[in-house]
Amino acid sequence: MVLFSLVATHADIDLETVAQLSTGASELATSALSGSPAVTGAVVLATCNRFEIYGEAPHPDDVEAARAALVAQISERTGLNEQLVSRSFNTRTGGEVSQHLFAVSSGLDSAVVGEREIAGQVRRALITAQHDGTASSGLVRLFQAASKTAKDVGAQTALGSRGLSIVSVALDLATDLSEDPDWSAKKAVVFGTGAYAGATMSLLRERGCTDISVFSSSGRAEAFVATRGGKALDSDSLPTAVAAADVMIGCSGSDTRVEADELARVRAGSPQTLIAIDLALTHDFDPAVGELDGVELLTLESVRLAAPQEQAESLAQASGIVTGAAAAFEQEREARSVDSAIVALRRHTMNVLDAEMEKVRARHGCTAAAEEVEFALRRMVKQLLHVPTVRARELASNGQQEQYIAALDALYGITVEQPAAAPAAECPVDHGQAGPASADIRRETA
């Protein structure tokens, strides 16, 4: 088995393309497994500035076929040209897969270096894949190791103590733009009820903001504010809340949004400046709202440009942890890859020995002579297996385990069985679909 990943991030392509690629992301892993024998496992990581697919293929030669199958499915789901989809992804295999994912989970590859949210998103990506039955055993180990590495980086470096996030940087920008930096006097409207909305609520309260309203057209606002505080809005009360707001923050990323002309109508005559913070990859707010009088628009790109640079010492320390963890993971994976081959060789040899001993017992019975013969044969077999076992470990440490497996097949006709996939963990995420609801300002389905 070989791990691979297809990576499209803010560092290589524009966020609009990332958003388009992410269309239908929740169903991609399941369809990939059913659509191509070259894909034996898949986990999809889709965030506000990246779309990444982690997969497992039976053999190295299958990676290109797996990539082609995934590109074709993404093209079909999004309507994008296959060539554009293919160009948007960087393909990683071998040690590059773990190195990249560990860096991502630790916040080293984020627009805001050291951000906190990404580690949770990596964990939830694995939980979703396990719930859907698409996470192979190799991918489970990869993502679990990534989460552990993120914890180590957070505990052992200054990145963890900074507490930076996309939301916190966005609120810092909003403070700079405000005529009055006192958040306790501001009225905020939050769109969405997901992880970013929860983080936004927490940070608003940390800054002293107490007048917070939440809108969700899917009807989840009441349950959301029940545990976090704030006021739930519906389609009737939303326009009034937006008209009086000092800040509105989009955290949902649905296929509909607050349109500029509708916002202009609702805000007509409002004396205070409105700061619109759009944290959704697919835009909760029409980009044209930034051209309206009395409206300041902040986007993910604004946050990326304003994100502070971390100290070189902290980054070097965190990078060292990531590199060490990735190397250890690869060594363990290489050693594990020959375990099945060693077991298969021993089983084959012992089956031959047992068959021969059955012949001896049939001829001589359970006599002392038969026992001496069995003892001698088992000792000989143990000695014969020693060198092949040692060589298996040596080849695995050099990344040549496939040669060993091929040799067993060529010499003995032994087929090495791959380990069974890890069982799915109980998923704490509610995957139910809520029906849409209309609103004067926008509609949110995520």
Nearest to 148 by CA among 199, 102, 79, 100: 102
Q: Which amino acid is at 293?
A: D
User: Which residues are within 8 A (CB) of 77 and not within 5 positions of it... i.e. 6 or more apart?
Assistant: 23, 24, 27, 28
Q: Please count the CA atoms within 13 angstroms of the CA of 111 that sit on its side-chain side.
A: 27
Name the token pair of 303: 């946050």
Name the token pair of 288: 């044209």
- In angstroms, the Cα distances linking 155 to 109, 114, 160, 162, 163 are 18, 12, 6, 11, 12
| Phi, psi values for residue 10, rounded to 5° | -60, -25
- CB-count burial class (<10 Å; 0-12, 13-18, 19+) for 429: exposed
- CB-count burial class (<10 Å; 0-12, 13-18, 19+) for 351: exposed
Nearest to 333 by CA among 54, 148, 98: 98
Catalytic member of 48, 251, 366, 427: 48
* Annotation says 366 is catalytic: no
Q: What is the DSSP letter of 230?
A: S
**CA quadruple 98, 103, 105, 107: dihedral, nearest 10:** -170
Q: Which amino acid is at 379?
A: R
User: Which residues are within 8 A (CB) of 35 and not within 5 positions of it... i.e. 6 or more apart?
Assistant: 69, 73
User: Which residues are within 8 A (CB) of 426 and not within 5 positions of it... i.e. 6 or more apart?
Assistant: none
Q: Please count the CA atoms within 13 angstroms of the CA of 439 that sit on its side-chain side.
A: 28
CA distance 444 to 441: 10
Q: Which amino acid is at 212?
A: I
Calculate helix-pair angle for 95-105, 312-337, nearest 10 degrees: 140
Residues noted as catalytic: 48
